Amino acid sequence: MKANFSYVGIRVKDLDRSIDFYTKLLGMDVKRRSKIKETKGEIAELQSGDRRFTLELNYYETDSPYDTPYVVGEGLDHLAFDVEDLVEAIEEAKSAGYRVVLELKTEKSRWAYVEDPNGIWIELQ
């Protein structure tokens, strides 16, 4: 079929804490925030940089049928962000209290993974 990959939606445990991470640490902008009556949920749509591809944060109220126990799981391997200076970015994440879970270095490149407030791996490169 003819289809267009339009956005990625992650589920979050705490919408405000997650918005803080993606806006204050990673510099994304909140484009829209709205309650979804049908799912007893709330979403925030974020974008950043030149690509303006949407990251949707999905939160479900505790009485929503979709508020199932939260396990990060393997489906989402990671979300990747290009940064200007990797060393500075790692320091900034640490100072803000976020966990740097892995740093990798090859002859050609260097990158690191930081955990978002939900335990999702964020690749900085």
Judged by beta carbon, residue 33 or residue 53, the one nearer a second copy is 53
**Phi, then psi, of 90 in degrees rounded to 5:** -65, -45
Mask of contacts with a second copy, 55-84, x by CB under 8 A? xx-x---------xxxxxxxxxxxxxxxxx
Told to check if 87 binds a second copy by CB under 8 A, we report: no
Tokens encoding 15: 């919408």
User: Is residue 123 annotated as a catalytic residue, yes or no?
Assistant: yes
Cβ-defined contacts of 83-86 (< 8 Å, 24+): 83/124, 83/125, 86/110, 86/111, 86/112, 86/124, 86/125
Tell me the sheet residues that pair with 44.
33, 57
Least distance between a second copy and beta carbon 96 (Å): 10
Contact yes or no for 81/26 (Cβ under 8 A) = yes
Interacting residue with a second copy among 19, 25, 44, 112 (CB under 8 A): 25
Determine, following the binding rule CB under 8 A, whether residue 29 of this chain makes contact with a second copy.
no
List residues bridging with 58 in a β-sheet: 11, 43
* Catalytically active residues, by annotation: 123
Residues lying near a second copy in the complex (CB under 8 A): 1-11, 25-28, 38, 47-51, 53, 55-56, 58, 68-84, 88-89, 92, 104, 106, 118-120, 123-125
